[in-house]
Each structure stands twice: as structure tokens, then as C-alpha cells.
Amino acid sequence: MTFRSIAQIAGSAMSAQTVRLNTVASNLANAETTGTESSAYRARKPVFQSVLQGSGARVQVLDVVSSNEPLNARYEPDHPMADEQGMVYDSNVNPVEEMTDMMSASRAFSTNLEVMARVNGLQQELLKMGQG
């Protein structure tokens, strides 16, 4: 069933891109948070993988990993989140990177939405074959 699997493939891509948009929202929301070296927020990134399905390939989110970028440390002993050494750690979110990621994700989402709409139209026409 080609049309059904196209819908599944486009749907899997849309849900994967939604996970990506979720991580972007989470990262941007926590961009200005601080903490200790262990508790500071680290940017999250989804890892996509393609899974063969018939002659096509759908997308699945394999994992969501934390970024290993270095945290921005500063000496501020009066800060409520400061550790014994008086160090405060900012999250390692890069807002510029997140914004571009968001644009890319939403564009990929609408591409797949368009695929679904288009295929839906083709199927409607196919159902009307031989009529009129």
C-alpha cells in the first residue's frame, strides 16, 4: 500500500521534527539559567535515524543527547547558585544555533506536511478514476 506508507513516512518525519522543535524550545527557555558544574543546563539535541520500510525509509528519534560544549564559568561568590569555590556555571545553549535549528526544523515539518497534502489529493483523484 503505497499511499498509506507515504503517509506513515511523512508522519514519522513530522513527529521527529516535533521532537527537534521541542528540544529547541527547551534549550531556548533554559538559555539563561545557571547552576553548579553538574546541575547547569546542557543543550539537548535529538539524534535521527532512518528505518527502511518497504521501498521507502521513515525517520525515528534514536536518542536525545546532551551537548558537550564547555559551560561558561565565572567567579561570583555572592550568587545563590555558587559552589564552594564561588564558581557559577551558565548553560551551554547557543541561542543563534538554536534559532537556525528552529527554522530548519519548521521548514522540514512543512515540507512533509505538503507531501502529505499532495499525496492525499492524488489518492482522492485515484478514487474517482473511471467516473464521469
Partner 1 sequence: MGLSLEQALGVHPAALKLRAERAEVIASNLANESTPGYLAHDIDFRASLREAAQGDAQALEFASDRLKYRVPGSASQDGNTVDLAAEQAEFAQNAIDFQTSLTFLNMKLKGLSAAINGNS
Binding site for partner 1 (CB under 8 A): 2-3, 5-6, 9-10, 12-13, 17, 20, 47-50, 54-59, 104-105, 107-108, 111-112, 115, 118-119, 121-122, 125-126, 129-130
d(CA 92, CA 115): 36
With b meaning 16 or more CB within 10 Å and e meaning fewer, what string describes 94-122? eeeebeebbeebeebbeebeebbeebeee
- Min dist. Cβ of residue 116 to partner 1 (A): 9
* Burial class of residue 36 (count of CB atoms within 10 Å of its CB; 0-12, 13-18, 19+): middle
Cβ 91 to partner 1 shortest distance, Å? 24
Q: Which is nearer to partner 1, 26 or 48 (CB)?
A: 48
Q: How far is the CB of 36 from partner 1 (least distance, A)?
A: 32
Task: Give the nearest distance from C-beta 108 to partner 1 in angstroms.
Answer: 5
**Pick 33 or 111: Cβ nearer partner 1:** 111
Output the CA angle 122-126-130, nearest 5 degrees: 145
